[in-house]
Structure 1
Amino acid sequence: MKNVLIGLVLALFMTSCATVHNSSSVLYQEFSQYENVANKNNIIEVASNFFSHSLLGRDYQSNPDAASQLLFKSYMVNIDSHYEKMNEQDGCLTVNGYDEENSPLIFSLKYISSNGRWLIDKIHVLFVDNKKDFANSAKCPSEYPN
């Protein structure tokens, strides 16, 4: 009986650790899905799966510039690191990486929870001088000066 109790406690502990680990990368997993799915041929059709209604606006489907703006991911060709912070309603993801000329840049994304999904609500792209300027923690777009 004692061995069963110890086994149960260990199983619960391992499950809770796994849950904490998985939940710590929720926003990055959402960003990765956007990276893998969205492209110039489908971005208008899939945009509502990745972006909030307030970010998209009413006429994004007829806006000729919308596709290029929604494909901001194309600026970054190599990812160096990422950080996120979140609560039940919203969160922020910071992604450090490099563009096609190997120049460093940072994506700062605000996500909101909407109908059980995490959607990008604000986007801030920051071009920096070098890698030492990369963020070392999650930073929301609103934390940058205008």
Structure 2
Amino acid sequence: MRVLFLSCLLLPLVVGCVTVEDSDTLYGAYSDYVSVADRNNIIEVADDFFSRNLLGEGYQSNPDAADQLLFKNTMSNTHSHFESIENDVGCLIINGTNSEEEPVVFSLKYSAGSAGWLIDGIHVGFVEAASDYPQTASCPADYFG
């Protein structure tokens, strides 16, 4: 009985540590964005997830900003992801499908900010089949030469 009681006390600490560690990854930062950002709050929380470089000036008054910042809605299911980090820049590939089960690929560039990783570049692409999904991390610039 004592072991069960101690396990119940320690479990939240262990789970909490795993969660904190995951938010240090690029995919963890992306997952935070997916779980928090929605049509009702994207303009207010944009600074928490996107770099000032990506947002630009006056994004709050841009009527298309919400749709662009909610690029996550293009993907309905995530199948795999790959990331790489070098110094204060990271690249993340997320492979998944849209609502019609068509293969979608997000390529995201992240930059390290004082509050954590911020999205600094976005490329949303479609591939013919899941067998065409990238199997390594790459940044949006890799698609544009």
Q: Deviations over 1:74-93 (max 9, x none)?
A: 00000000000002311011
> Any stretches of 5+ residues in structure 1 without a counterpart?
1-17
Aligned to 1:109: 108
Q: CA 1:35–1:102 in 2, change beyond 3 Å: closer, same or farther?
A: same
2:73 is the counterpart of 1:74: yes
Q: Deviations over 1:28-77 (max 9, x none)?
A: 00000000000000000000000000100111000000000000000000
Q: Where do 4+ consecutive residues of structure 1 move more than 2 Å?
A: 22-25
- Give the TM-score of the pair, scaled to structure 2: 0.83
> Any stretches of 5+ residues in structure 2 without a counterpart?
1-16
- Counterpart Cα distance in 2 of 1:68 and 1:116: 24
Aligned residues of 1:24 and 1:84 also touching (Cα < 8 A): no
Aligned to 1:56: 55
Q: Residue 139 of structure 1: CA displacement?
A: 0.8
Cα RMSD, aligned residues only: 1.9
- Counterpart Cα distance in 1 of 2:23 and 2:32: 16
Paired residue total: 127
Q: Residue 114 of structure 1: CA displacement?
A: 1.3
Higher Rg = 1
> Identity of aligned pairs, percent?
50
SS at match of 1:144: helix
SS at match of 2:135: coil
